[in-house]
Amino acid sequence: MGVVVEVTDGIARVQPHKHSACSSCGSSTVCFPDEKPAPIIEATLAGQDVKIGDLVELKRDEAPKIVAALLVFGIPVVTLIVGIIVGTNASGQDMQGGVAGGLAGLFLGMFIVRFVNRFAKASASLRPTIGQVIDSPAAST
């Protein structure tokens, strides 16, 4: 849940608010890192009529989260293994070639993940959507 702070072109910028459900959520550290103010989250309106100050529910599909986890953890592991194999075969020395190739593969995998992350941030399909308006200050006055 969060409060809408800005609405433009089918996107609402929402500042999350701590709720009693947050204490049991494993992802609460994403919304509320440390003791800093919560980051602003961009959410797709999905046909909802929201106004600044509305308390809204944010929804996010599970499938993109699973794909993101596979990419973040899978790509570096795959490139590490490929790097070990290539380094071992290319150098002719099992230990040094494998270590050097593995490190090169790991860094390549991390670079790829960083590059993919830039595209994922810009993707509208990965944004959360506004589920429903829970409370509207305009309606209560």
**What tokens were used for 85?**
């194999």
- Work out the pLDDT band at 93, boundaries 50, 70, 90: confident
Whether residues 46 and 73 fall in one domain: no
Q: Which is nearest to 43 in space by CA: 125, 118, 117, 119?
A: 125
Cα–Cα distance for residue pair 49/78, rounded to 1 Å:
45
Q: Which residue(s) pair with 56 in the sheet? A: 2, 133
- Work out the pLDDT band at 9, boundaries 50, 70, 90: confident
Whether residues 55 and 68 fall in one domain: no
Whether residues 52 and 71 fall in one domain: no
**Quick one: average pLDDT of 27-44?**
70
**Quick one: average pLDDT of 79-83?**
95
- Global confidence as pTM: 0.59
Structural domain harbouring 13: 2-60+126-140
pLDDT at 15 over 80: yes
Task: Give me the number of domains the chain comprises.
Answer: 2
pLDDT at 107 over 60: yes
